[in-house]
Amino acid sequence: MQILKNTDQDFSAKFQALVNERREVTVDVSGTVQEIIADVKVRGDAAVKEYTNRFDHYHPQSFRLSETYIAEHAAKCPVEVTTALEVAAQRIAAFHEKQLPQNIAYTDTLGVNLGLNWVALPTVGIYVPGGRASYPSSVLMNALPAKIAGVERIVMVVPMPRGEINPVVLAAAEIAGVTEIYSIGGAQAVAALAYGTESIAPVDKIVGPGNAYVAEAKRQVFGRVGIDSIAGPSEILVVADSNNNPDWIAWDLLSQAEHDPSAQSILITDSESFALKTIAAVEEILVNLSTKEVASASWEKHGAVIIVSNLEESIFLLNQLAPEHVELCIDEAQVFASQIKCAGSMFLGRHTPEAIGDYVGGPNHVLPTARSARFASGLSVYDFVKRITYLQCDEQALQNIGKAAITLAEAEGLPAHAGSVAVRLT
């Protein structure tokens, strides 16, 4: 973990190194993934079964989980967890329902009828990781916006190592309205969703996080289908003054560090004393934290504390880092937030830990990482709809604008374009 002070002579160089740090997996798996995708395209179900047996030690008779199986296993979810999922689902749905866009329709002064219609994608595939990253909350965050957008077929793929699955994942899928669930994962699952097999019809877009193989597979099938993003390790940046409790901020920093050894937690403060107290609190919490191994690796290798002379100076630094999550544990947090241009999601005030956003806040927790918040946004209803524009000219409207179209078509050397308009004007 490094400490940077903006008064140090080498601060600019150190900060730029922090900005440029690459924490993604550097192992090149593109060749392996390419082979798996090619195999699934040719052999379909047979290839998927072979890879599922090899990687997950599981060989089901049918990939698709039956309604009975889903219901029976979802029922094993503890009642209090199901209740919490329902609370989260209600809040997530309420926020995303407000995102539904409106169609546009009008006639301009020259008599041309113009418009734009929003339509839902017909079918979407959701990748849900297994193992360490099996998060039921992500099922809600990925499936509910799709359902609210009007997607009719929502397909979920989830690996089941040795035939085991977390009942909470299935409970979340039921609540979120997932229509099909298949017990497959890895690059082979992405390939099956993109190209289809004998038993799995293809989808139009694939969303959801996964390991390096899943991420690379999404990259390679993009164009055949849409994808949400290529997710990287988690990030949190906390801006805090000395009026905070160091223990609170320490827990916030570790909330992302425990995700992955490559995750990054950064504190920016204008108090060196508070910075040192927070660092000490992190070390104290780590002693008994059940996720200590992962969180410690993240904090020690990628953690950072930046001490500035004035918190206003942190705005430029924050926009350069473009973090996935930003906590503003300060007075007048909304005023400060209005100056932030590059962040995935913001959590304002001293009583809004980022973890609330992970579960029950309402906004989506699928957010841009690796500085992509400079140009990308979190998952939303907009990711599951597309725009179709239309034009309608009557005879007079075409007379009004057609001559300009002919002139431009001729300037571009496209006589058929010009002719298609001109023939209607004669």
Task: Determine the average pLDDT of the residues in 26-51.
Answer: 93
Task: Give per-residue pLDDT as tens, 293-345.
Answer: 999 999 999 999 999 999 999 999 999 999 999 999 999 999 999 999 999 99
Q: Are residues 253 and 305 in contact, defined by beta-carbon separation less than 8 angstroms?
A: no
Report how far residue 321's alpha carbon sits from residue 244's, in angstroms, rounded to the nearest whole number: 23
Distances in Å between the alpha carbon of 388 and those of 115, 154, 220, 303?
8, 22, 26, 45
Q: In what order do the strands lie in the sheet with 153-157?
A: 180-182, 153-157, 123-127, 205-207, 226-227
- Residue 263's contacts (CB-CB under 8 Å, 6 or more residues apart) are 23, 233, 234, 235, 256, 257, 298, 302
Report how far residue 7's alpha carbon sits from residue 62's, in angstroms, rounded to the nearest whole number: 63
The total number of residues shown for the chain amounts to 426
Task: Give per-residue pLDDT as tens, 188-241.
Answer: 999 999 999 999 999 999 999 888 899 999 999 999 999 998 888 999 999 999
Structure tokens at 124: 């979407």
pLDDT-above-90 percentage for the chain = 91
The H or E element that residue 67 is part of is helix 67-74
- What structural domains and CATH numbers belong to the chain? 2-24+232-361 (3.40.50.1980), 30-101+120-227 (3.40.50.1980), 393-425 (no CATH)
Q: Are residues 123 and 155 in contact, defined by beta-carbon separation less than 8 angstroms?
A: yes
pLDDT-above-70 percentage for the chain = 99
Q: Is the per-residue pLDDT at 132 higher than 70? A: no
Catalytic center residues: 324-325
Task: Give per-residue pLDDT as tens, 244-282.
Answer: 999 999 999 999 999 989 999 999 999 999 999 999 999
- Residue 174's contacts (CB-CB under 8 Å, 6 or more residues apart) are 70, 71, 74
- Residue 333's contacts (CB-CB under 8 Å, 6 or more residues apart) are 348, 349
pLDDT of amino acid 131 = 60
In eight-state DSSP terms, residue 101 is P
pLDDT of amino acid 61 = 86
pLDDT of amino acid 28 = 84
- 25 against 199, higher pLDDT: 199
pLDDT of amino acid 246 = 98
pTM: 0.92
Q: Is the per-residue pLDDT at 25 higher than 90? A: no
Report how far residue 35's alpha carbon sits from residue 190's, in angstroms, rounded to the nearest whole number: 13
Burial class, 5, CB count within 10 angstroms (exposed 0-12 / middle 13-18 / buried 19+): middle
Task: Give per-residue pLDDT as tens, 330-388.
Answer: 999 999 999 999 999 999 999 999 999 999 999 999 999 999 999 999 999 999 999 99
- CB neighbours of residue 107 within 10 Å: 12
Radius of gyration over every alpha carbon of the chain, rounded to an integer in angstroms: 25
Q: Is the per-residue pLDDT at 157 higher than 80? A: yes
Residue by residue, DSSP assigns 103-127 as: PEEEE-TTS-EEEEEEEE-SEEEEE
Q: Are residues 126 and 142 in contact, defined by beta-carbon separation less than 8 angstroms?
A: yes
Longest pairwise C-alpha distance within the chain: 85
pLDDT of amino acid 135 = 85
Distances in Å between the alpha carbon of 33 and those of 6, 27, 207, 212, 367?
44, 12, 18, 10, 25
Burial class, 390, CB count within 10 angstroms (exposed 0-12 / middle 13-18 / buried 19+): exposed
The one-letter code for the residue type at 190 is V
Helices (H) and strands (E) in the chain — how many of each?
17, 14
Virtual torsion, Cα 232, 144, 162, 134, nearest 10 deg: 40
pLDDT of amino acid 426 = 81
pLDDT-derived band at 133, boundaries 50, 70, 90: low
pLDDT of amino acid 26 = 66
pLDDT of amino acid 182 = 97
